[in-house]
Amino acid sequence: MTTLLTRRAAARTFLGTIAGAGLLLFGQEYGRARDLVAHVQEDLQRAADFTRNKDKERDRYHDVQHHLSEFDRELRAGKFDKGKLDDAINNLKDVVKENTLESHDRDALTQDLSDLRTLRDVR
């Protein structure tokens, strides 16, 4: 009887450890995704500071920032929303394609676009 109780306690401890590790990995995965979102938002802000005199350009920056923020809000709540990420990717693609950018900002945002696509594809 004591051996059975010891085995059950060991099994509970083992399963609890595995579940805890799963939650830790889950948190780390979303933490990396949130770090990427923050990095992209910083790059967008720097690029937006270069020129903000055209309404359409300003709207494109606003759209991508808004969708990244919505995606991040869902991540914080524990949900990976591919739809919101796709919206942000499409908006960022429009910024890179249509907005007036300095060369280093275009390069940074193009890399960010690639990183966001990779994040979406590995999910």
Q: Is 11 part of any domain?
A: no
Residue range of the domain that includes 98: 29-121
**48 token code pair:** 């937006």
Question: 49 in a domain, yes or no?
Answer: yes
User: Into how many domains does the chain fold?
Assistant: 1
Question: What are the structure tokens assigned to 5, written together?
Answer: 């109780």
| CA pair distance 79, 122, nearest whole angstrom | 15
**17 within a domain of the structure (yes/no):** no
Decide if 7 is inside a domain: no
More confident residue, 4 or 117: 117
Q: Answer yes or no: are the C-beta atoms of 116 and 89 closer than 8 Å.
A: yes
14 within a domain of the structure (yes/no): no
Is position 44 within any domain? yes
For the segment 22-33, the average pLDDT, to the nearest whole number, is 62
> Which residue is it, tokens 């950018």?
101
Lowest mean pLDDT among 6-10, 80-84, 92-96: 6-10
Task: With beta carbons less than 8 A apart as the criterion, state whether 26 and 74 touch.
Answer: no
Q: Residue 6 domain-assigned?
A: no
Q: What CATH code is carried by the domain that includes residue 61? A: 1.20.1440
